[in-house]
Chains A and B, each alone.
Chain A
Amino acid sequence: MTITNFYDVTLRDGNHALRHQLTSKFVGEYCQLADSSGVWAVEVGHGNGLGASSFLVGKSSTSDEGLLVAAREGLRNSKLAVHAIPGFATIKRDIYPALEVGVEVFRVATHVTEATVAQTHIEYLANRGAIVHGVLMMSHMTNIAGILEQAKLMKKYGASAVILMDSAGHFVPSDVADRVSALKGEIDLEVGFHAHNNLGVAISNAMIAVKNGASIVDGSSMGLGAGSGNAQLENIVANYGRAHLDGTKLREYLQMSRLVESAFEDYLPRTNSSSVESGMAGVFSGYAPQVKQISSEMGIEQEELWNEIGRRRLVAGQESMIREIAQDLMNL
């Protein structure tokens, strides 16, 4: 069977849970631990990736460069990775400087139907010899044929892997099995899967992706991530060890988990009524803080707001629509 690469998004997706307040001190500390675990790559940055610190999504307390330099110092074995969404990140302003810092893996991400927006960035990085993954975010928002078409484009541009993100935590295990196996069956490239835990099945989804041929699996320590969080990395590793009698260093992953648990006790994500509502409505997990704030400020039910956002089919990066939608719901 193929080797499974564990991909740690704690220091990127987890930054959503921390409202983008991650410090370079913590990044350095965490990376030293992660580096001894054998995790394939550690992704670092603002929750929406390079260049995304903004009023729209949330301001980072530490610059991309500050976080990446700290991570670079801590990582010798594991690769340093970033998430980059064209429309937020540009080559000149963000991607080139990240290459200079020594980032090795670039995940260029678009909404699941918009891969063409990433052509310039993927081609540039592939030409520079970086490892490039194409990421299809909000992958529940199109059908399997649509996913295959977009994955083929990313491969054509030069991506060595395509990562399916269940950004809304909407998938159940059979959805993941169908999509990952279709990708593996139709296209000769690596497939990865990134889960969110809105419906409480993130770890199952990650495991079923591996079973169906995904060779890259995303997770985060304690599930630290947007909304109800990601698949817990230590649990994926434990499950994987049971299934494959694998000697992966669970002990190191548990140390990473303990570090996160003690440092961010008040920020640990959980699956609650709001996250189930958002998962069922198929809304981007990163919207949770804004939905919580605006619904309480304007006195409307979170469920009503989640459902209306879902009905209007918002994608990642449309935070400023939430207030307008809330006003519409109140007929203001």
Chain B
Amino acid sequence: MNSKGRRVAVLGTGNIGADLGERLLLDKDFELVAVVGRRSDSPGLQRFQGRVPHVLSGGITALLEIVNDFDGVFDGTSAHDHLHHWDVLHAANKWVIDLTPSRLGQPLVPALVGQVDAMVLNDNFSWNYSMISCGGQSSAVILHAICENAVDIEEVEISSSIAALSAGPATRTNIDEYIDTTENLARIVSGCAKAKSILVLNPADPPIMMRTTVHVKAAHFDLEKITIRAQQLVEGIQKYVPGYDIVLKPYLNAEGHVTATAKVTGAGYVLPEYAGNLDIINSAAVETARLHLQKLI
């Protein structure tokens, strides 16, 4: 891959931004040129001093001052701020991976590219991919495996529990947006209009590992095919999220009701293992950017 297109900036220096920065520094497919926050004294910015060419504290305005030095942006700020960020970044012909639950861009789960109609890569260089939510990324493959082998789906549900320590201020104030965007993903993957999402924070010490449970109600299931398909898709997601695993294999919970649970253990770039929720969304973000560039360049 040549250098065109792969020079990237990380916007936001909270848990998500700091972890993304560390990942991108280690990834030979990308060149991390800027890390951008709001406050110059934030620990998320401090850690990149001297390690990244541009460590900027003036938010999107500061980033636009070096507009010719980068091609793509990972936005780990908030759903509200992302709306403005995309406006100006699209005008500047940048590609953007949105890690906020803004629901603005095209939802993408890398493991489902080519498997679900809506999960396709776009031909435009300047494009906005939404990483949905950690609940969306962790449920999508199981949900797809079940729904692909179900007849007359009536209702789907995604519930996740995450360690309270891994949920920063933006996650907490954006909890409604989280639910909304996760339910939207559930509808896209299942093709079923009736979708529900639930998020629970658990403060236990030592912290819990993230769990996501999928429920599907339908007239008929082929449980054997679901199990095989789920295993295939899990192997696909494990390529970029090694800590992903099914802990409750798809089972018939009641007549016409299949349930399964996945566990996500974090890779621990910046945060400890319990932050599987951050790991899966950041892993998906980097993988999506990689696929986008592979297709275009």
Contacts and interface: CB of A to CB of B under 8 A. Distances in A.
Interface of A: 54-56, 86-88, 90-93, 111, 113-114, 116-117, 119-121, 141, 312-318, 320-321, 323-324, 327
B203 A315 contact: yes
B161 A318 contact: yes
Given A56-B213, A323-B248, A313 B204 contact: yes
A91 B178 CA distance: 12
A114 B213 contact: no
B199 to A, nearest CB: 4
A315 B207 CA distance: 12
Q: Tell me if B's interface is mostly helix, strand, loop or mixed.
A: strand
B172 A117 contact: yes
A120 B208 CA distance: 25
A315 B200 contact: yes
B164 A56 contact: no
B180 interface: yes
14 contacts: A55-B257, A56-B157, A56-B159, A87-B179, A87-B199, A88-B198, A93-B179, A111-B164, A114-B201, A117-B201, A313-B203, A313-B204, A314-B204, A317-B198
A37 B250 CA distance: 50
B207 to A, nearest CB: 10
A32 to B, nearest CB: 32
Contact of B164 (A114, A119, A316): A114
Contact of A320 (B173, B176, B208, B213): B213
Contacts, number: 95
A317 B176 contact: no
B248 A327 contact: yes
Counting chain B residues whose Cβ lies within 8 A of the other chain, the interface size class is 20 to 34
Given A54-B196, A56-B215, A91-B176, 9 more contacts: A54-B198, A55-B157, A55-B257, A56-B157, A93-B180, A111-B202, A117-B175, A313-B205, A315-B202
B265 interface: no
Contact of B169 (A111, A116, A327): A116
Interface string B151-193: 0000101010100100101001101100110000000000000
A324 B169 CA distance: 30
Contacts of B161: 317-318, 321
Given A87-B179, A111-B203, A318-B200, A116 B172 contact: yes
B94 interface: no
A90 B176 contact: yes
Contact of A318 (B164, B202, B248): B202
Contacts of A114: 164, 172, 201, 203
Nearest to A119: B173
B261 interface: yes
A99 B215 CA distance: 30
Given A87-B175, A324-B261, A313 B202 contact: yes
Nearest to B257: A55
B204 A317 contact: no
A324 B263 CA distance: 11
A321 B157 CA distance: 15
A324 B164 contact: no
Interface in B224-252: 247-248
Contact of B259 (A55, A86, A141): A55
A205 B252 CA distance: 42
Given A55-B259, A56-B159, A317-B161, A86 B200 contact: no
A84 B39 CA distance: 35
The winner among A314, A316, A318, A320 for most chain B CB atoms within 10 A is: A320
B211 interface: yes
A120 B175 contact: yes
Nearest to A316: B200
B217 interface: yes
Nearest to B217: A55
Contacts of A113: 164, 203
Contacts of A318: 161, 200, 202, 211
A236 to B, nearest CB: 31
A55 B146 CA distance: 16
Contacts of A55: 155, 157, 215, 217, 253, 257, 259
A87 B171 CA distance: 11
Nearest to B215: A55
